[in-house]
Structure 1
């Protein structure tokens, strides 16, 4: 991914494969907007996505989502997906409708990466209606999070999922484009808009806006607060359509499974690599610069065991009965490197 300026905000974890078998599969990323790590925990967030026109004759997997993470634990992600015909649980025409699902990517009890999918797994949706994402910490004592996806026009609940996922410090949009059986993914053909994004912190942090990063062609309104930094709003974020051969990064550049938070760098393109659990390092692929930064502060009551183990993250590697959806048996996980430019 290409950037124009000097601030990088890597917010969410990407567990793209470190194994030789998976390095042959090309994962690319569209432009993104990101925040974090926050000094205070995120306790709720909501946004409305207008995903744009679906992709006709999709050959691979395309996922648009808002993700929140702490860089070492679960990644909460409501997914708006585009699939090859017959490759998802959705019943609609993949050329005219999006397939959605409420999901969490993280570690199962056996230490393997796993994708959990809600009971209301998928629902076809009209792209013009918009979809409201809501992630709320419903029980702070157990770090239980509930995510919902609602049709913004009709108010109909489309998908939901609840899971103990730990404290959250990073926030970011993502466009993930993955090959399928050697067939390239087709990127978005229209811009995507995130409207009325609101982020509530556990305590006020007037400097939270300083962690903001955005891709070179991403446009957005100002990030504002009216209560001293407890609640933040962004009226509009516009993610440009993906263009073939540009605005993307390849999973072949990832040398190990990823755990990422935020940093500042003069890089034009970055790959975030896992190191010791007490710190993270950003290694820069198109710049000699590198920066090291502290891991998020430990939170009492949360066993953030932490880093994604080396492995493909495919559904096949996940234990049975953990909620992996059928499509992950074919595809693997979704992860995100939130890259950005501060304006």
Structure 2
């Protein structure tokens, strides 16, 4: 059930939510958290779709804050709140409210959102694209236990990552870090099996990839070894190599959903290591609401460590021909 409200208030939106629930035959609230998405018209559809898919695992009230100040003479006029309430259907067991804030109201989004938060439930705020320099000090971010940004989604990812390191507060996280969870799990398992000291590490990825930077920071923090970064054609992180006295532990994922894992003295194995969707990343972040200390340590290590040596990976001619043939299959 969808309800459009023009020039409305938070009180009227709450009343519309109750009425929609009753009309759908499920007046009881079974949601576990409030997810606030702060975005714009251009990006709200993709963000809402990802959040809706994630809410099938974590039933939530999703509040999409779309700030419209300054976009047109109409938007720059009198402060106004337009809303669309969605209950049932694509919203699943949760609720979705699109909030379009016009005029000066766009600068006071927290006053609109606060009355719409689920009582006694955690709050997560997600900026899919343009996040504030200090999410914890942002009026909306201050309402949340967890604050999610995405350094990969901006024009200058490494500069964005440096800003995150400067402003980090417990509860902050970044989807560039979340993308590394399968890599970190696989590497931790490999190190448990190898049981040998690591002397250095190499991270291969596309250029200016924030996930690669955080992975290098994780190695610097946990292994206390020098880390080299190698630029490849991607996508994202393509390989990790850990040098030991017994040989090289390496994971290669040049493309596709599969990776090869090699550990000295053991046969090479093929494992699943796909590039995950935004919905899967958000669902993972909603599983935990405590501060991510590993992310904080990796971010801090990357910011304080000397700049790593970065070189381009030269692809042999035979491999280039093979890739070209593969592209035409």
Give the TM-score, by structure 1 length.
0.27
**Higher helix content, 1 or 2:** 2
Work out which structure has the larger RCO, using CA pairs closer than 8 Å and 6 or more positions apart in sequence: 1
Structure-2-length-normalised TM-score? 0.27
Larger Rg: 2
